[in-house]
Amino acid sequence: MEQTFIMIKPDGVQRGLVGEIISRFEKKGFSLKGLKFINVDSAFAEKHYADLSAKPFFHGLVEYIISGPVVAMVWEGKNVVVTGRKIIGATNPSESAPGTIRGDFAIEIGRNVIHGSDSVESARKEIGLWFPDGTVPWKSSLHPWIYE
Protein backbone atom coordinates (compact mmCIF):
# COMPACT_ATOMS: atom_id res chain seq x y z
CA MET A 1 0.00 0.00 0.00
CA GLU A 2 1.04 3.62 -0.53
CA GLN A 3 3.44 5.22 1.95
CA THR A 4 4.47 8.80 2.70
CA PHE A 5 7.22 10.45 4.69
CA ILE A 6 6.06 12.89 7.38
CA MET A 7 8.39 14.95 9.56
CA ILE A 8 7.42 17.06 12.56
CA LYS A 9 9.81 20.00 12.27
CA PRO A 10 11.74 21.43 15.26
CA ASP A 11 9.05 24.04 16.01
CA GLY A 12 6.39 21.31 16.17
CA VAL A 13 8.53 19.37 18.66
CA GLN A 14 9.36 22.45 20.78
CA ARG A 15 5.71 23.49 20.87
CA GLY A 16 4.54 20.11 22.14
CA LEU A 17 2.56 19.17 19.04
CA VAL A 18 3.99 15.67 18.56
CA GLY A 19 1.09 13.82 20.19
CA GLU A 20 -1.54 15.98 18.48
CA ILE A 21 -0.01 15.45 15.03
CA ILE A 22 0.46 11.70 15.40
CA SER A 23 -3.09 11.49 16.69
CA ARG A 24 -4.51 13.17 13.56
CA PHE A 25 -2.86 10.61 11.28
CA GLU A 26 -3.84 7.70 13.54
CA LYS A 27 -7.46 8.80 13.87
CA LYS A 28 -7.76 9.15 10.10
CA GLY A 29 -6.95 5.45 9.86
CA PHE A 30 -3.42 5.55 8.50
CA SER A 31 -0.83 3.11 9.85
CA LEU A 32 2.48 4.12 11.39
CA LYS A 33 5.30 2.14 9.76
CA GLY A 34 8.39 4.02 10.94
CA LEU A 35 9.19 6.50 13.72
CA LYS A 36 12.44 8.19 14.77
CA PHE A 37 13.24 11.14 17.04
CA ILE A 38 16.51 12.62 15.81
CA ASN A 39 18.74 15.62 15.25
CA VAL A 40 19.91 15.96 11.65
CA ASP A 41 22.97 17.87 10.45
CA SER A 42 23.08 20.43 7.66
CA ALA A 43 24.41 17.98 5.04
CA PHE A 44 21.43 15.71 5.71
CA ALA A 45 18.90 18.58 5.70
CA GLU A 46 20.41 19.82 2.41
CA LYS A 47 19.94 16.36 0.93
CA HIS A 48 16.33 16.19 2.09
CA TYR A 49 15.52 19.59 0.58
CA ALA A 50 17.92 19.28 -2.41
CA ASP A 51 15.15 20.26 -4.86
CA LEU A 52 14.99 23.70 -3.20
CA SER A 53 18.75 24.41 -3.18
CA ALA A 54 18.42 27.32 -5.63
CA LYS A 55 15.76 29.10 -3.56
CA PRO A 56 16.68 32.26 -1.64
CA PHE A 57 15.24 30.80 1.58
CA PHE A 58 17.26 27.55 1.30
CA HIS A 59 19.92 28.46 3.87
CA GLY A 60 17.28 29.61 6.38
CA LEU A 61 15.27 26.43 5.72
CA VAL A 62 18.29 24.24 6.49
CA GLU A 63 19.06 26.24 9.67
CA TYR A 64 15.43 25.80 10.73
CA ILE A 65 15.45 22.03 10.19
CA ILE A 66 18.71 21.55 12.14
CA SER A 67 17.67 23.88 14.98
CA GLY A 68 16.36 21.03 17.15
CA PRO A 69 15.20 17.43 17.05
CA VAL A 70 12.58 16.31 14.54
CA VAL A 71 10.15 13.40 14.46
CA ALA A 72 10.56 11.41 11.24
CA MET A 73 7.74 9.05 10.34
CA VAL A 74 6.46 6.76 7.63
CA TRP A 75 2.68 6.51 7.35
CA GLU A 76 0.83 4.03 5.15
CA GLY A 77 -2.65 3.92 3.65
CA LYS A 78 -4.74 4.43 0.54
CA ASN A 79 -3.84 7.79 -1.10
CA VAL A 80 -1.78 8.70 1.96
CA VAL A 81 0.50 11.09 0.02
CA VAL A 82 -2.28 13.39 -1.20
CA THR A 83 -4.49 12.94 1.86
CA GLY A 84 -1.51 13.52 4.15
CA ARG A 85 -0.86 16.84 2.37
CA LYS A 86 -4.53 17.75 2.92
CA ILE A 87 -4.26 16.95 6.64
CA ILE A 88 -1.11 19.14 6.75
CA GLY A 89 -2.59 22.09 4.80
CA ALA A 90 -1.12 24.65 2.40
CA THR A 91 2.60 25.49 2.65
CA ASN A 92 1.92 29.06 3.77
CA PRO A 93 -0.08 28.92 7.02
CA SER A 94 -1.83 32.17 6.11
CA GLU A 95 -3.46 30.17 3.30
CA SER A 96 -3.95 26.85 5.09
CA ALA A 97 -7.54 26.06 6.02
CA PRO A 98 -8.62 25.83 9.64
CA GLY A 99 -8.79 22.15 10.56
CA THR A 100 -5.46 21.44 8.88
CA ILE A 101 -2.31 21.12 10.99
CA ARG A 102 -0.71 24.27 9.57
CA GLY A 103 -4.07 26.09 9.56
CA ASP A 104 -4.55 25.31 13.23
CA PHE A 105 -1.01 25.62 14.59
CA ALA A 106 1.17 27.86 12.41
CA ILE A 107 1.43 31.49 11.32
CA GLU A 108 4.57 31.79 9.18
CA ILE A 109 5.79 29.82 6.16
CA GLY A 110 9.26 29.48 7.70
CA ARG A 111 7.79 27.90 10.87
CA ASN A 112 5.12 25.65 9.41
CA VAL A 113 5.49 22.75 11.87
CA ILE A 114 5.43 19.74 9.56
CA HIS A 115 6.67 18.27 6.29
CA GLY A 116 4.88 15.80 4.03
CA SER A 117 6.10 14.21 0.78
CA ASP A 118 4.62 15.89 -2.30
CA SER A 119 4.36 12.77 -4.52
CA VAL A 120 4.65 9.01 -4.38
CA GLU A 121 8.07 9.31 -6.04
CA SER A 122 9.32 11.89 -3.47
CA ALA A 123 7.96 9.68 -0.70
CA ARG A 124 9.96 6.72 -1.98
CA LYS A 125 13.15 8.83 -2.09
CA GLU A 126 12.57 10.44 1.32
CA ILE A 127 11.75 7.12 3.03
CA GLY A 128 14.99 5.70 1.56
CA LEU A 129 16.95 8.69 2.89
CA TRP A 130 15.45 8.77 6.39
CA PHE A 131 14.88 5.04 6.91
CA PRO A 132 17.79 3.32 5.10
CA ASP A 133 17.34 0.23 7.30
CA GLY A 134 13.70 -0.11 6.32
CA THR A 135 10.46 0.27 8.26
CA VAL A 136 8.37 -1.96 10.50
CA PRO A 137 6.19 -4.51 8.71
CA TRP A 138 2.85 -4.99 10.49
CA LYS A 139 -0.83 -4.83 9.67
CA SER A 140 -3.37 -3.18 11.93
CA SER A 141 -6.15 -5.52 13.06
CA LEU A 142 -8.53 -2.61 12.33
CA HIS A 143 -7.85 -2.93 8.57
CA PRO A 144 -11.27 -4.45 7.74
CA TRP A 145 -13.00 -1.67 9.71
CA ILE A 146 -11.22 1.02 7.70
CA TYR A 147 -11.09 -0.49 4.19
CA GLU A 148 -13.99 -2.12 2.31
Active site residues: 115
Where b means 16+ CB within 10 Å and e means fewer, 136-147 reads eeeeeeeeeeee
Q: Which residues contact 132 (CB under 8 A, 6 or more apart)?
A: none
* Binding to Mg ion in span 75-134, by CB under 5 A: 118
Which residue lies nearer to ligand GTP by CB, 52 or 97? 52
Beta bridge partners of 71: 8, 37
CA distance 15 to 30: 24
How far is 63 from 36, CA to CA, in rounded Å?
Answer: 20
Please check if 85 is assigned to a binding site: yes
Beta carbon nearer to Mg ion, 31 or 117: 117
Q: In the complex, what is the shortest distance from the CB of residue 118 to ligand GTP, in angstroms, rounded to a whole number?
A: 5
Which one, 60 or 134, has the nearer CB to ligand GTP? 60
57 is in the binding site of which of ligand GTP, Mg ion, none (Cβ under 5 to 8 A by kind)? ligand GTP
- Residue numbers at the binding site for Mg ion (CB under 5 A): 118
